[in-house]
Amino acid sequence: DTGVSQDPRHKITKRGQNVTFRCDPISEHNRLYWYRQTLGQGPEFLTYFQNEAQLEKSRLLSDRFSAERPKGSFSTLEIQRTEQGDSAMYLCASRRQSPNEKLFFGSGTQLSVL
Amino acid sequence: DAKTTQPTSMDCAEGRAANLPCNHSTISGNEYVYWYRQIHSQGPQYIIHGLKNNETNEMASLIITEDRKSSTLILPHATLRDTAVYYCIVNYGGSQGNLIFGKGTKLSVKP
């Protein structure tokens, strides 16, 4: 496995700006997940894709958040009009579709909204 | 919400076995117990999972009680690199597989 890759590793932005993160999953994995993690907490599920279809969205995913996986490979997570409360680590994970397959996580994108 | 209860923190001496407990009293018959760990500034890493039988791999052993209401993750010879937050997760191992994480146990391995 070449691993799940996330870009950028760190992002500092001003409140009100839009930001976009990219995730490249392991190539043969058709399931892709986005999580958010704040300091001292475990990762919180945001959304997941099977191939290019977004199959579930958490209530944590407000209207300012949008995720895409246009060709069923890489995915992007965009946050519009960022707020200070959006500051967190955004984690991407991928896995094969078969039951009980383990999740492989990337190293995350640390977002700081000033 | 997470369906597991774990101690907030634990210490372990280097070279000794680390035994991390987890309570999951409301687990249902088709739910698996997964363990992941997260080293500072990295994404979580899969360790092991099981349904009702004890499991062992190159990283750890998982002991699940007969009533499946609790389990223990065992790191047989802890090293300083095992210092991390360990998450016990109960999940239906079916088609979704999106894991619900709690706060985990912060394991500190000390020399």
* Per-residue b or e along B66-90, where b marks 16 or more CB atoms closer than 10 Å to that residue's CB: eebebbbbbbeebeeebbbbbbbbb
DSSP B26: T
Query: Which tokens belong to A56?
Result: 């579930």
| CA pair distance B61, B71, nearest whole angstrom | 10
CA distance A60 to chain B (A): 13
**pLDDT tens-digit series, residues B84-106:** 999 999 886 554 557 888 889 99
Our CA-based measurement puts residue A28 at a distance from the nearest CA of chain B, in whole angstroms, of: 17
CA distances from B23 to A29, A72, B70 (A): 31, 37, 4
Inspect the interface and report whether the beta carbons of B97 and A40 lie closer than 8 Å.
Answer: no
pLDDT tens sequence for chain B (111 residues): 668 999 999 999 999 999 999 999 988 888 889 999 999 889 999 999 999 989 999 999 999 999 999 999 999 999 999 999 999 998 865 545 578 888 899 999 999
